[in-house]
Chains A and B, each alone.
Chain A
Amino acid sequence: MSSTQLWTLVFVALTFSFYIFIAYRSRVSDTAGFYIAGGGIPAPANGAAIAADWMSAASFISMAGIIAFSNNGYAGSVFLMGWTGGYVLLALLLAPYLRKFGKYTVPDFVGDRYSEAARLISVVCALVISFVYVAGQMGGVGIVFQRFLGVDRTLGVIIGMVIVFFYAVLGGMKGITWTQVAQYSVLIVAYIIPVFAISAKLTGNPIPYLSFGEILQKLDELQVGLGIDAYTEAFTRTSMVNMVLITAALMFGTAGLPHVIVRFYTAKSVRAARYSALWALFFIAILYTMAPAIGAMSKFNVINSLDGTAVEDTPGWYNTWSDVGLITHNDLNSNGAIDLAGGFGEGTEMIINNDIVVLAAPEIAGLPAPIVGLVAAGGLAAALSTASGLLLVISSSVANDIYYKKVNPQASEAKQLLVGRIAMGAAIVVAGYLGINPPGFVAEVVALAFGLAAASFFPILFLGIFWKKATAAAAAAGMAVGLSVTLLYQLWTLPTFFGNDTILDIPATGIGTIGMILNLLTILIVSQFTTPPTPVMQKVIEDVRYPGRSELVVAHAEGKLSEEELHGRHDH
């Protein structure tokens, strides 16, 4: 066993025992604790938990590489702006009001505000989005184990499943939240240390925010010299319209993702929900503002150390990562050296996996073995924290939205909790299976999940709060229109499905914005012709907007309002 592997093992064992200890300390025995941690998490802790929940294996491991290599810099900005800008929408438009509404899940709000049909559509959406997402996380756990410890990928996924099973099933939202706080600390330290070290090594200035300009200048010169478009130049790979469409789909999708929204229900009060959003974005921004820096620095390092290098003279890290297939060199001009004149990717001499940028950064910069181990533990923390949050959404959808609301409304607290735990256990098994045998389309679908969330959830949540006259029929119609336009277009253009040409040059990742606008318009129009919400429901919506105790909202949250008061008589 190499010293890197030994250090990785030490860090992984340490952090895993830490997570289990926390979960054991915060185990729960009632549904309020299981679903929403009793609504008693302080804002900074809730913010850190949201940040860990939000930043998945993809954010931690892949994002810097996606920006620097797949998108050559500027075009990758859509992810940076999209995945952070959505929190402004959440904080200002959704979080405080949904918290005041006082329920457990997103389908709860949709079902109460509109109708049972709308509840059903949103349960299905929440389940599909969460399963697609969680499969990616389990796969991520397997990959980290495989690359750093040489463990078989299947075994890696199973280890991840056991750990998540232990703390998520035992502790529910309470266990998950406090574990995520610990996981955030691990992942952010694991990100910051290599970034600062590499920045210091490259420019003499350890602060990546200050050295960013210098790196970009060098990188631009290097790329232009090689005949690649400058890294900072706009619209070399994408158009202005596409940038707007994709950024908007990611922003509004972020604000509509059920596993993010549900976290604001765990806040103590409306005020705490606002502060949770602030802390969450603050913690997320620390990593997201550093990702473009590490991306640019790694790209500079890679070009600088590889271009023109003879195949037999490549550095040690190159060999390590080409052995596991993350770097591929095709000697197109058969001169026995690496030529980067064509840039990177298909049709050039060099194909680099995006994950390398973060995973190999410590080695490329020649940092000691413990730091490499720390990065592995950070990647695992990112994957596990996101997986557990998603599993909770799945579990609460099944136990609360389907079992308690539809199958057995008389179920006792203990029974609901049992169903929730069984649902979570089953979800872990399915997620693990999907992680070991990933269907080819998972990676594509994760990127598209945002478009679906934007086109389905955001408009009905937003108008549900800000427009009292939005009707149940309109919401169902809006969701149907938004979802079907988005989904059909995605299937139409995706290579794994139909693979047709795009229409009007709209990318599959940006169609969610169009779907969302159509959804909004549908609700605005259909609401004019259909039965408005009952006076009681309109009063509830009104009361949700103001601070202070409202007896009506409390009565509603406690389930004391009748179906007729909420949704009116159904004379069919």
Chain B
Amino acid sequence: MDAQQRQEYWRSNLKIMAILLIIWALVSYGAGIVFVEPLNNVSFLGVPLGFWFAQQGSIVTFVILIFVYVKLMDRLDQKYGITEYEQEVHHP
């Protein structure tokens, strides 16, 4: 990768991170805490929605967020020609 490619790669990485972390904050601090009371007026699978986000929904979303992250990063790596992952070194 040359300098410009590196810059592009890092920008894309930061963009992916920012979007996913905004969703991360919205489901937990948003739906689970700040907006829990209005959301509790809606029911999901019989559970008040705000309460569901606080106890189950946020956790499910977290798993999906990391899934999307690893897939997007795989695609980004591929775009910049990184397809082989050698075993990286480890030393004391």
A residues at B contact (CB < 8 Å): 31-32, 36, 38-40, 67, 73-74, 77, 80-81, 84-85, 87-88, 91-93, 96, 99-100, 102-104, 209-210, 212-214, 216-217, 232-235, 240, 243-244, 247-248, 251, 265, 268-272, 274-275, 277-278, 281-282, 285, 288-289, 292, 400, 404, 416, 545-549, 554, 557-559
- Chain A residue numbers with a CB within 8 Å of B43 are 213
Contact B17 A92 (CB under 8 A): yes
**CB of B4 within 8 Å of the partner chain:** no
Say how far A266's CB is from chain B's closest CB, in angstroms. Answer: 9
Q: Is the CB of B85 within 8 A of A77?
A: no
Assuming the A-B contacts A217-B46, A247-B29, A278-B70, are A81 and B54 also in contact, with contact meaning beta carbons closer than 8 angstroms in the complex? yes
Once the chains bind, are A404 and B92 in contact (CB under 8 Å)? Answer: yes
Nearest CB on A from B89, distance (A): 5
Residues from chain A with a CB closer than 8 A to the CB of B86 are 269, 549
Contact residues in A for B59 (Cβ distance below 8 Å)? 80-81, 84, 285, 288-289
Identify which of B37, B43, B46, B92 gathers the most chain A CB atoms within 10 Å of its CB.
B92
Task: Give Cα A87 to B69, complex, Å.
Answer: 12
Docked Cα-Cα span, A73 to B52, in Å, equals 11
Are the CB atoms of B46 and A213 closer together than 8 Å?
yes
B69 and A274 contacting across the interface, CB-CB below 8 Å: yes
Inter-chain contact A232/B46, CB cutoff 8 Å: no
The complex places the Cα of A408 from the Cα of B48 at a distance, in Å, of: 60
Which A residues lie within 8 Å of B47 (CB)? 212-213, 216, 232
Inter-chain contact B88/A102, CB cutoff 8 Å = yes
With a CB–CB cut-off of 8 A, which chain B residues contact A243? 33
A-B pairs with lowest CB-CB distance, top 8:
A213-B46, A77-B54, A269-B85, A292-B55, A547-B82, A232-B51, A213-B47, A234-B36
**10 A-B residue pairs with CB within 8 Å:** A74-B36, A84-B59, A213-B45, A240-B34, A271-B73, A272-B85, A278-B63, A285-B62, A292-B56, A546-B9
Docked Cα-Cα span, A96 to B82, in Å, equals 15
Enumerate chain B residues within 8 angstroms of A100, measured Cβ to Cβ. Answer: 88
A-B contact sample (18 more), CB < 8 A, given A74-B51, A77-B51: A39-B90, A67-B55, A80-B58, A88-B65, A232-B40, A232-B47, A234-B54, A247-B33, A272-B85, A285-B63, A288-B59, A404-B92, A416-B92, A546-B6, A547-B9, A547-B85, A549-B86, A558-B91
Q: Check if B42 is an interface residue, CB within 8 A of chain A.
A: no
CB atoms of A102 and B33 under 8 A apart: no
The interface residues of chain B lying within 8 Å CB-to-CB of A87 are: 62, 66
Q: B residues engaging A (CB < 8 A)?
A: 1, 6, 9-10, 13, 17, 20-21, 24, 28-29, 32-34, 36-37, 40, 43-48, 50-51, 54-56, 58-60, 62-63, 65-67, 69-70, 73-74, 77, 80, 82, 85-92
Knowing A77-B54, A285-B62 touch, does A91 contact B91 (C-beta < 8 A)? no
Q: Is the CB of B45 within 8 A of A281?
A: no
Bound: A203/B6 CA distance, A? 56
Task: Report yes or no: B51 in contact with A545, Cβ–Cβ below 8 A.
Answer: no
Least CB distance, A34 to chain B, in whole angstroms: 11
CB distance from B63 to the nearest CB of A (A): 5
Residues of chain A with a CB closer than 8 A to B73's CB? 96, 271, 274
Q: Complex: how many Å from CA A328 to CA B58?
A: 35
A209 and B45 contact, CB distance less than 8 A: yes
Q: Which residues from A are CB-within-8-Å of B24?
A: 85, 88
| Cα–Cα distance between A289 and B57 once the two chains are bound (Å) | 9
Chain A residues touching B, majority SS: helix
CB-nearest residue of chain A relative to B21?
Answer: A92
Q: How far is the CB of B68 from the nearest CB of chain A, in Å?
A: 10
Distance to closest chain A CB from B3 (angstroms) = 10
Nearest B residue to A238 by beta-carbon distance? B33
- Asked if B70 and A274 make an inter-chain contact with CB atoms under 8 angstroms apart, the answer reads yes
Q: Which residue of A lies closest to B43 (CB)?
A: A213
Partner of B33, one of A216, A240, A404: A240
Complex Cα distance A497/B13, Å? 46
Cβ A209 vs Cβ B56 within 8 A: yes
Contacts of B28 in A (CB 8 A): 81, 85, 247, 251
Q: Does A88 lie within 8 Å of B62, measured CB to CB?
A: yes
> Smallest CB-CB separation from A105: which chain B residue?
B92
Q: Does A548 contact B82, Cβ atoms closer than 8 Å? A: yes
Closest partner residue, chain B, to A278 (CB atom): B66
For B39, the closest partner residue in chain A by CB is: A234
Give A96's nearest chain B residue, CB to CB.
B73
Query: Which of A248, A268, A278, A404 has the most chain B CB within a 10 Å cutoff?
Result: A278
**Which residue of chain B lies nearest to A405 when distances are taken between CB atoms in the complex?**
B92
Closest A residue to B29 by beta carbon equals A244
Cross-chain contact A92 with B20 (CB below 8 angstroms): yes
Nearest opposing residue in chain B for A210, CB measure: B45
Residues of B within 8 A of A217 (CB): 46
Minimum Cβ distance to chain A for residue B9 (Å): 6
Task: Looking at the assembled complex, report how far the CB atom of A67 sits from the nearest CB atom of chain B, in whole angstroms.
Answer: 8
- Known A-B contacts A81-B32, A92-B21, A557-B91; the reply to A281 vs B63 at CB < 8 A is yes
Contacts A77-B54, A80-B55, A209-B56: A234 and B87 contacting too (C-beta < 8 A)?
no
Q: Which residues of A lie under 8 Å from residue B82 when comparing CB positions?
A: 547-548
The distance in angstroms between the C-alpha atoms of A545 and B80, with both chains bound, is: 14
